[in-house]
Structure 1
Amino acid sequence: MTSNLMTFALIALVILVALPIVRSRMNFIDPQEARQLVEEGALLLDVRTPAEFNERHIPGALNIPLQELQARQGELPEQARPIVVYCRSGNRSSQARNYLRSQGFEQVHDLGPLTRWP
């Protein structure tokens, strides 16, 4: 039993140390900066599934699931308008940011997880 507890504690410690490092490498925008951009007119883009969006989302967000982003790209504003993208964990939003930037959208900012919204 003690061995299992020690293993669990070690795994928890590794996760606590690694998580901020992983998130920082994902290039998430500061949540306060994201809010300011949205207040100044940036599009808030939720790339989660419709079910996730319906369960909880940031008011005013547009929901285009990551897997539909290419097909629905025409629903996005002109490329000069900033976009703040988010998802559940930061993985899909990072993929969306990279895709949109490859399509010429220069002002795409990744909030990461919805839970980071201030």
Structure 2
Amino acid sequence: MGLLEFLGFGNKSNKIAEFMANGAVIIDVRSAGEFSGGHIKGSKNIPLNTISSKIEDIKKLGKPVISCCASGMRSAQATSILKSNGIEAMNGGGWSSLKSKI
């Protein structure tokens, strides 16, 4: 692993592919209204303001998580919450950009 990858600045597409190969679930942390306006097929909508109360449900999935939102800001917060609760997670960024990488 190179220094940039270690610091989290490596090739995001490679990390997304690795997570997907491991059966990752995509969690869209936008509001239900935003989600209904468009989302990645098969993704789960768990708004950021409710994610802390859904930790046990997410753990039961037994899969790594790629979080996404509109721009990557809320999904970064969600990723931090998930990781602090022992869930393998990464920030996929904006959902439309992530959609083009999976």
TM-score, normalization by structure 1: 0.67
* Equivalent-residue separation in structure 2 for 1:47 and 1:100 (angstroms): 12
Which residue is equivalent to 1:111? 92
Which residue is equivalent to 1:44? 26
Gaps of 5+ in 1: 1-24
* Equivalent-residue separation in structure 2 for 1:28 and 1:114 (angstroms): 19
Contact 1:26 1:94 (8 Å CA) reproduced: no
Contact 1:38 1:44 (8 Å CA) reproduced: no
* Equivalent-residue separation in structure 1 for 2:11 and 2:52 (angstroms): 23
Determine which structure has more spread, i.e. the larger CA radius of gyration: 1
Gaps of 5+ in 2: 1-6
1:31 to partner: Cα distance: 3.5
* Aligned: 1:62 with 2:44: yes
Aligned length: 93
TM-score, normalization by structure 2: 0.76
Alpha carbon RMSD of aligned pairs, Å? 2.5
